[in-house]
Structure 1
Amino acid sequence: MQELLPEEPFETEVRNKRAIIDRRALLGRIEDIVKEGGSDLDVRTHILAALRDALENGRSEVRRRFDERASGTVVVRSNCYLVDQLIRVVYDHVTTHLFPSANPSTGEVLSLVAVGGYGRGELAPQSDVDLLFLLPYKMTPRSEQVVEAILYFLWDLNFKVGHATRKVSECIRQAKSDVTICTSLLEARWLWGDQSLYIELRKRFQSDLQSQGGAKFIEAKLSERDLRHKRNGGTRYSLEPNIKESKGGLRDLHTLFWIAKFLYHVDDIARLVDQKVFTRQEVRRFEKAQAFLWTLRCALHYLTGRAEERLTFDVQKSLADWMGYTDHAGTQGVERFMKHYFLIAKDVGDLTRIFCATLEAEHNRRSRFRLPSLTRRRSFSGFRLEGERLSVKDASVFENAPIEMLRIFAVAQKHDLDIHPKALRWITQNLKLIKKPLREDPEANKIFLQILCAEEDPETTLRRMNEAGVFGRFIPDFGRVVAQMQYNMYHHYTVDEHTIFAIGILHDIEQGRLSEEAPIATEVVHKVLSRRVLYVAVFLHDIAKGRPGDHSEVGAKVARRICPRLGFSAEETETVAWLVLYHLAMSDTAFKRDIDDPKTIQDFAALVQSPERLRLLLVLTVADIRAVGPNVWNAWKAALLRDLYWRTEEVLSGGISSEGRAQRVEHAKEALRVAIADWPKKEVEAHIKRGYPSYWLSADTETHLRHAHLVREAERQKLPLMIDAHVDGYRDVTEVTIYTADHPGLFSRIAGAMAVSGVSIEGANIITLANGMALDSFYVQDAAEGGALDSDERVARLSANIEKVLSGGMRPVQELARQRSTIPSRYRVFKVAPRVLIDNKASATHTVIEVNGRDRPALLYYLTTAITRLNLMISTARIATYGAHAVDVFYVKDALGSKIDNKAKLTRIRKKMLEVLESTDCAAAAVSKQPASKQPAAAKKPTRETRRKPETAAE
């Protein structure tokens, strides 16, 4: 598949058609078969063989042309031509040889009509063939036989046929009540048979439907479009788009074409130039988008061998390679390919928005944003009001004063108005005027900053500016991330969409709309000293994505360049740059480090240094995570961030210091003494003595109280194992606490039992009491759905599995093998570089092992099994996943309770962890020294003899 360059003419005509199929030669062959005679079955078998040969040869020829640079437009028209000729041959054979009629009656004539996409003359490699058998009156016996025989031939040729048999009057009646049938008939094309019937259908359709006006049809198609967008995620920037049905896909172009054809009676989109609907440049954008999407759709059908319409992660890489996209300047080839797709989808959005909005204005349809109280006013701040949309007199307004291209968005934002499509078109046509002088104009930058920091929904306005192209032109660094994909399963949107979403979430936090999901952020956002510092930091936090180097470091440099232009002081600029540089620091600390460890809090406080930066960083972190995609933010992450915030704030305000640790331990003990005051004093003090200082600092009084009752019950009944499950609504997890004799490998065996039970461990707190018993707490969620375990039965099953594993009644390795837990196919396409970091400075008492790799079922079990075999004791674990990327952190000591500082031992640890990460058979790597097996071979890709360099303009 080649890239379609903007200056290159689009090839749309099918050349040398007889090389695809020679209908006359095929008819002659069938005549010979009939003349040779034989049984009806033999004749039919030979005719089918001839048809199959013609079909197979034709498809091979079309595929060969595609592999030799034919565009998708040519391919779908070639496929259509091939099927046309085959159906005509079948029709002639059926009506001539099987059910001949020398002089058919008026009621026996039949017209074959192609409808739907096939009627439009476009047929993708795996698409259905939609036919209408058009009758003059009711069905006659001969017509029924002819229709049935044609369909059986097509079915035997393995065509997927959608068909209907109707009279002209039935077609018109049903089209009036069903917009789908109306649309299908709108695209009807005579194929074979009696042409006068088709002509009658066209005339009746025009007189009974088209001549009655298009308002009803437009309304129906736009509503249909909105529902389709909603079903497919509501954004054109979803990272696994449906190239046919998603926003910005082929169906949007079809909708535009259907409305144009219904209203203006055009068969070619280029004729809309004469109708003053599109300019020649806009028609060119339409043709370019259609050619790209058809080429991509054909490639997807050929690659998968089915009517696949979704660009899923597991096909994106193959398509990008096939199209010749290579890694460049820190951006993967697949990301460059998807960026080109999203830019095309954006063009489709621009065209359909301009076209459909123009129709709304022309037909005086009521806008969904109608503001009755404003209808009498005809201007706002120098802009005209047309149909409740802001506009200008003509394009010269923007040509003479380019700053007006910014100001119109600010005025629309202030008064909650939309912008007229004419004005948007003039803005698009004059984007080239947004140059350095305007970018350096203090007034223009003031307007932009007002839009960004406004209290009137900055998200909608910024998205409109982005759609119009103004955003990226005024801030070229933002223009570089427009349509920039991030090829992973963690991020759900392109970088520009993610950024705009994050700004919208920040606005929601400020307005109090997320007080339940993010209560601390909602509270502290009003304590920050500078709103605009916060808004600009959110705007710039991912501005350097896709560039070489660390995007946080490069982004900080960009911030130092952009902020002065926006009128920021040196102090404000430095604060924004710091926030961009460290925008991942809070989430990394909360999710990857033990925040119960005092050194973790001290180190983080030393980085942040001030309560103001802490507040800014918290709100930025919440907005960033929530904008990644649906279901990424959860109560567990919220709780970790809140705990980190409060503990760090106490350090920064002088509330906690390393010298006060003993006092905090005593306070925790005393609080528990009060809670269990009804116990015998001897039992109280015996329990208090079981806990080391680290235990008393690891939880609150409520948790200490639950633990006390659990331990007391186990000791009274002399039980070797006691399990307690408690739903923690604060974190949306089930806290599973296990009290049993401590021994090497306990963590690993429990992790195995949980993997077998289908739960994922979000975090763990490993405690060994002074009596040698383990009091381990695991925070778990449902592995498939997330959230706390939803039933007592589920908890009971988990507890039973833990007991079986710890008693030796179940071996996790064998049970997991029976479950055939493999890496999900969608995960396999991601190449997460395995990495093991060992840090002896992060904790004063433990060695910290951070493991990064591709996630897979039971990975935590296999990692902890390997740690156990290295004779290490796990004290705390932090478990996190980012799509297919797993980040597991373990705080460990050696068998003597010390840090590991022996270089040879550290090398062995790193090597063993890497073996587990790199192996497709985690169990083998965890328990043996066998080399990791190779990854399975990639799926077979389509071939392309000639590749061309992708279009640089789309980057």
Structure 2
Amino acid sequence: MNKLPLAIPSDIFDREHFLCAVKSARQPLPLFKDSIARVTDYFHQQFQQGSDIRQLIWGRAHYIDQLLQCAWQLFDWPDSISLNAVGGYGRGELHPHSDIDLLILINEQAEQDCQQAIGEFVTLLWDMKLNIGHSVRSLQECFEQAEQDITIATSLLESRTLAGPPAMLAKAVSNTEQHSWPSHAFFRAKWREQIKRHSKHGNSEYNLEPNVKSSPGGLRDVQMIGWIAKRHFNAQAMDDLVERGFLLKPELNSLNQGLDFLWRVRYALHMVTGRAEDRLLFDHQRTLAKMFGFEDDDIRLAVEGFMQQYYRWAITLGQLNDLLIQYFDETILRASEDETIIDINPRFRVRNGHIEVTHNQVFAQTPAALMEVFLLIAQSPNIDGLRATTIRLIREYAATIDDDFRSDPQIAEYFMALLRCKEKVALQLRRMLRFGVLEMYLPEFKAIIGQMQHDLFHIYSVDAHTMEVVKNLRRFHYPKFQKRFPVAARIVQRMEQVELLYIAGLYHDIAKGRGGDHSELGVADVTRFAQRHKLSKKDTNLVAWLVQHHLLMSSVAQRKDISSPDVIRDFANVVGSQRRLDYLYALTVADINGTNPSLWNSWRASLLRQLYTETTGALRRGLENPADKHEWIEETQTSAMEKLLGLGFSEEKIHGLWSGVGEEYFLRESVEDIVWHTEAIAQSLNQNAPLILTKESGELDNEGATQIFIHTHDRPSLFALTAAALEQLNLNIMDARIYSSGDGYTLDTFYVLDADNKPIGDNPKRLAAIKQLLQEKIQNPQHYLAKISKRTPRQMRLFSIPTRTRFHNDEDLDFSVLEIITPDRPGLLARVGKIFMEHDVMLQNAKITTLGEKVEDVFFITDYQHKPITDNELAEKIQRAICKELDEQAQI
């Protein structure tokens, strides 16, 4: 492809006129700077008017060529020195703030004489504010350094002479290619380089803030193909690779279109930031979405539409990069290696561990083979993957999948057999997605490819999240994950129809982005799938129920008081059977971990486990025999009494310690904790000083939190100052339980995790520091809202939304329930506690849930008479005060 740069009008830049002007000027620098500003403004205007991005990129490089040549001519140079463009600039491509990489080649004898001129030349370029990267080398130095550094060798591969004798550069390139980096070695080194780069960016095109240049599917992946082509084929353009059979015409078209899109994105980033910014940060995403013509609508934000387009191109380019590198490795580098070929059937064989078609018409003659190939890989532990030529055919024939293909009973049988395989199920589904088969076989899947939610909670696109969920469901079978997910692993490994779990995983978010309730909309999709794949009515009902209720268990566990028999009863009534509960629990754990693994912590694990265990008990008793609240309390008190009597306490002493403590305490707290609290209070020597205890909670490995128990004089400010102190200690409150003892004291339990979302563990020094600071704050409450030293992270500041509250009275629990949805920030709970104190509100319980950049906290509150807040005006006043306090803080 001929590189035709964008023409610059002569009134903006005329080379000959400009050269005469700078040669005659006493101070040429202002002329250079003025020219750069004028040309840059012109190019930006052309970009905004929709000019061809290639002409803009080539045009800027061509302009800089002329600018540097003019600057070069201001000095006297011998014939033994040359100025050369290398790297991206050497390719003739230059974005507004890209590095301008220069190589000055010089004869060793002349180097000493030219040092001052070289220094003055480079200083002039720096003074122009150009992003210059330069090196000065002799031919021998160039050869030696390129031999040691693949980056230098690569930059020489993309080089051209701007001024001076071209023969110097030609010799440097020739020496490097012949002696330092032959084709095989060059390819292997660049491949290792790419693997390392991809690993740095999480091996995923779906980074929340991707790097347009370096992330998988970015510009570097396209350049990688070009480097291979130039080094091995001596090709000067991608078009040459079609003639050589390395690249197919449709692949070339995709590469060109994807490159155009990424170039436009990168140009826009440089233009709006005024610097060499290649990261698509959240605030830049919003700006570029508008610039690229996307608008908010009722279904999704403009930025989500823009990022979906970005991710789809990144996936396309990443796939082509994978395919062409594998193809190059197989058909060129390994062409002479010994091969082992094993026939499977008339359609497929295995060559050196990779499956391939026996002839190029396999999919045309037997369409079902397009599904069969993935089943064969899953069924055979000896098949490592697919040959590149077969991947190409799969990609080609995937586009031919139609209703006849989807309704073929044999193909449906293959797909269900794949889901029933004991190994490599998730891997094959990911391959089907990557090769374009899954979106054609399950057409409803196409809409969610690359679809993102613009927040910090959902770190994957919907399609990538779906694949993560299925992979997590598979992981429950693996020994190394059994310790982390003991309950889920035990449940899944005893399931007789685990394929139903995978179907629910595939469809649970299938309707996202359509508007409306995606759980309800997904039911229709998964029901059609079940009917097409001949599932029984019983199994169809199960997968439909799982899709409809896939958010239920996490919502109940994190937002309701699961120590309440009424909450367990209501949840058990919705679930209805142990079979549903087992499937729902496994799907919920996989879903949470597949949304954002960093948000899964031991406390969430313990909540889900508790809800699962209590609901299992309710189902065993029978839904017609729900647990009675008073029986539950009586049973807890009796068991705690027996243990305390065994420790030497008298019944009179125990009743005295328990007098005034409300029913909620015995309803929510375990027998073990009641005994622990009672014994410690009885043994406390100083009733005026706060009693502070700590211990780990949780019955299973890696599940639970650190409990902090506080027994002290009750006061309105206690929750606020405790929350502020725990924030100062860098602890995250997961749950708070507040009880009044009726004698002027309060019994408070806080469940906390450290900054890494883990319990504190056996750390005496840390635990002593916690106790000491809490005692100081409680005994000296005057400055409980001390200045929070932690700053709100940049990403969270970008997601500032108005605080929302919901208020209702729960008649079953005798509480008022206040829900607060607001951006996360330091000191949030302390400020909420301050509002409660100012409005004579008593906190009884709090469920703290952080979802990325926002929190969805639930507070169970009463007035000072322990009654729900029935005054609507007061309820509104509390909510307004909270919104005002939190939203004003968000502006700081």
Residue 252 (structure 1) shift: 0.6
Q: Over residues 774-807 of structure 1, what are the superposed CA-to-partner deviations in whole Å (9 max), with x where a residue is unaligned?
A: 110111223x433234754544444444334333
2:522 matches 1:552: no
Q: One-letter code of the match for 1:24?
A: E
Query: Are the equivalent residues in 2 in contact too, given 1:329–1:547 (CA < 8 A)?
Result: no
2:347 matches 1:411: no
Residue 314 (structure 1) shift: 2.4
User: Structure 1 regions of 5+ residues with no counterpart?
Assistant: 1-8, 34-42, 923-934, 937-955
Q: What is residue 666 of structure 1 aligned with on the other side? A: 635
Q: Over residues 846-890 of structure 1, what are the superposed CA-to-partner deviations in whole Å (9 max), with x where a residue is unaligned?
A: 222222122222222222322333322211100001001211101
Residue 129 (structure 1) shift: 1.6
| Structural mapping, 1:425-824, within 5 Å | 425-654=392-621, 657-659=626-628, 661-662=630-631, 665-675=634-644, 677-681=646-650, 682-689=652-659, 691-714=661-684, 716-728=685-697, 731-782=703-754, 784-789=755-760, 791-816=763-788, 819=789, 823-824=792-793
2:847 matches 1:882: no
Q: One-letter code of the match for 1:80?
A: A
Matches of 1:596 and 1:71, distance apart in 2: 64
Instruction: Please state whether the residue corresponding to 2:743 is helix, strand or coil.
Output: coil
Instruction: Please state whether the residue corresponding to 1:849 is helix, strand or coil.
Output: strand
Residue 353 (structure 1) shift: 1.5
Q: Over residues 524-557 of structure 1, what are the superposed CA-to-partner deviations in whole Å (9 max), with x where a residue is unaligned?
A: 2234453222111111111111111111111122
> What root-mean-square deviation, in Å, do the aligned CA atoms of Structure 1 and Structure 2 show?
2.6
2:243 matches 1:262: no
Matches of 2:839 and 2:725, distance apart in 1: 21
- Structure 2 CA distance for partners of 1:904 and 1:336, relative to 1, 3 Å: same
Residue 403 (structure 1) shift: 2.0
2:21 matches 1:29: yes
Instruction: Please state whether the residue corresponding to 2:476 is helix, strand or coil.
Output: helix
Instruction: Please state whether the residue corresponding to 2:726 is helix, strand or coil.
Output: helix
Instruction: Please state whether the residue corresponding to 2:657 is helix, strand or coil.
Output: helix
Query: Are the equivalent residues in 1 in contact too, given 2:458–2:595 (CA < 8 A)?
Result: yes
| Structural mapping, 1:143-162, within 5 Å | 143-162=114-133
Query: Larger RCO: Structure 1 or Structure 2 (Cα < 8 Å, ≥ 6 residues apart)?
Result: 1
Q: What is residue 356 of structure 1 aligned with on the other side? A: 325
Matches of 1:167 and 1:732, distance apart in 2: 65
Q: One-letter code of the match for 1:920?
A: E
Q: One-letter code of the match for 2:741?
A: L
Query: Structure 1 stretch 762-771 or stretch 84-93: which is displaced more?
Result: 762-771
Q: One-letter code of the match for 2:482?
A: S
Matches of 2:533 and 2:11, distance apart in 1: 63
Candidates 294, 306, 314, aligned match of 1:325: 294
Query: Are the equivalent residues in 2 in contact too, given 1:804–1:810 (CA < 8 A)?
Result: no
Matches of 1:236 and 1:854, distance apart in 2: 27
Candidates 838, 849, 863, aligned match of 2:832: 863
Q: What is residue 822 of structure 2 aligned with on the other side? A: 853
- Structure 2 CA distance for partners of 1:564 and 1:728, relative to 1, 3 Å: same
Query: Are the equivalent residues in 2 in contact too, given 1:314–1:825 (CA < 8 A)?
Result: no
Matches of 1:490 and 1:899, distance apart in 2: 33
Percent of aligned positions that are identical? 30
Residue 471 (structure 1) shift: 0.6
| Structural mapping, 1:897-908, within 5 Å | 897-908=866-877
2:249 matches 1:249: no
Instruction: Please state whether the residue corresponding to 2:481 is helix, strand or coil.
Output: coil
Matches of 1:135 and 1:445, distance apart in 2: 68
2:16 matches 1:16: no
- Structure 2 CA distance for partners of 1:677 and 1:139, relative to 1, 3 Å: farther
Q: Over residues 418-460 of structure 1, what are the superposed CA-to-partner deviations in whole Å (9 max), with x where a residue is unaligned?
A: 1111111122222231001111112212222222342112121
Matches of 2:297 and 2:497, distance apart in 1: 38
| Structural mapping, 1:11-160, within 5 Å | 13-16=5-8, 18=10, 21-33=13-25, 43=26, 46-95=27-76, 104=78, 109-160=80-131
Q: What is residue 38 of structure 1 aligned with on the other side? A: none
Query: Are the equivalent residues in 1 in contact too, given 2:96–2:271 (CA < 8 A)?
Result: yes
- Structure 2 CA distance for partners of 1:905 and 1:505, relative to 1, 3 Å: same
Query: Are the equivalent residues in 2 in contact too, given 1:555–1:580 (CA < 8 A)?
Result: yes
Q: What is residue 353 of structure 2 aligned with on the other side? A: 388
Matches of 1:556 and 1:543, distance apart in 2: 9
Query: Structure 1 stretch 84-93 or stretch 821-830: which is displaced more?
Result: 821-830
Query: Are the equivalent residues in 2 in contact too, given 1:517–1:635 (CA < 8 A)?
Result: no
Instruction: Please state whether the residue corresponding to 1:198 is helix, strand or coil.
Output: helix
2:211 matches 1:234: no
Q: One-letter code of the match for 1:29?
A: A
Residue 20 (structure 1) shift: 5.6
Q: One-letter code of the match for 2:410?
A: E
Residue 343 (structure 1) shift: 0.7
| Structural mapping, 1:924-943, within 5 Å | none
Q: Over residues 190-238 of structure 1, what are the superposed CA-to-partner deviations in whole Å (9 max), with x where a residue is unaligned?
A: 111122222333443454457x4x1111111111100100011111112
Instruction: Please state whether the residue corresponding to 1:473 is helix, strand or coil.
Output: helix
Query: Structure 1 stretch 128-137 or stretch 602-611: which is displaced more?
Result: 128-137
Candidates 914, 921, 926, aligned match of 2:889: 921
Matches of 2:441 and 2:777, distance apart in 1: 62
Residue 905 (structure 1) shift: 3.7
Candidates 249, 258, 269, aligned match of 1:280: 249
Q: Over residues 128-182 of structure 1, what are the superposed CA-to-partner deviations in whole Å (9 max), with x where a residue is unaligned?
A: 2211111234443322233222111112222232222222233233323321111
Instruction: Please state whether the residue corresponding to 1:483 is helix, strand or coil.
Output: coil
Matches of 2:115 and 2:505, distance apart in 1: 67
Query: Are the equivalent residues in 1 in contact too, given 2:709–2:747 (CA < 8 A)?
Result: yes
Q: One-letter code of the match for 2:888?
A: T
Residue 262 (structure 1) shift: 0.3
Candidates 235, 254, 260, aligned match of 1:291: 260
Query: Are the equivalent residues in 1 in contact too, given 2:341–2:350 (CA < 8 A)?
Result: no
Q: One-letter code of the match for 2:867?
A: S
Residue 713 (structure 1) shift: 3.2
2:148 matches 1:177: yes
Matches of 1:743 and 1:843, distance apart in 2: 27
- Structure 2 CA distance for partners of 1:843 and 1:831, relative to 1, 3 Å: farther
Q: What is residue 314 of structure 2 aligned with on the other side? A: 345
- Structure 2 CA distance for partners of 1:514 and 1:469, relative to 1, 3 Å: same
Residue 274 (structure 1) shift: 0.6
Q: What is residue 6 of structure 1 aligned with on the other side? A: none
Query: Are the equivalent residues in 2 in contact too, given 1:342–1:483 (CA < 8 A)?
Result: yes
Matches of 1:544 and 1:10, distance apart in 2: 45
Matches of 1:720 and 1:205, distance apart in 2: 78
- Structure 2 CA distance for partners of 1:911 and 1:920, relative to 1, 3 Å: closer
Q: Over residues 555-600 of structure 1, what are the superposed CA-to-partner deviations in whole Å (9 max), with x where a residue is unaligned?
A: 1222222221122122211211111111111101111111112211
Instruction: Please state whether the residue corresponding to 1:140 is helix, strand or coil.
Output: helix
TM-score by length of 2: 0.94
Candidates 296, 300, 303, aligned match of 1:334: 303
Instruction: Please state whether the residue corresponding to 2:695 is helix, strand or coil.
Output: strand
Matches of 1:864 and 1:446, distance apart in 2: 59
Q: One-letter code of the match for 1:407?
A: E
Matches of 1:291 and 1:421, distance apart in 2: 26
Residue 289 (structure 1) shift: 0.9
Query: Are the equivalent residues in 2 in contact too, given 1:733–1:781 (CA < 8 A)?
Result: yes
- Structure 2 CA distance for partners of 1:144 and 1:807, relative to 1, 3 Å: same
Matches of 1:469 and 1:10, distance apart in 2: 32
Query: Are the equivalent residues in 2 in contact too, given 1:410–1:447 (CA < 8 A)?
Result: yes
Q: One-letter code of the match for 1:638?
A: A
Instruction: Please state whether the residue corresponding to 2:448 is helix, strand or coil.
Output: coil
Residue 823 (structure 1) shift: 4.4
Instruction: Please state whether the residue corresponding to 1:543 is helix, strand or coil.
Output: coil
Q: One-letter code of the match for 1:757?
A: L
Matches of 1:902 and 1:571, distance apart in 2: 49
Q: What is residue 40 of structure 1 aligned with on the other side? A: none
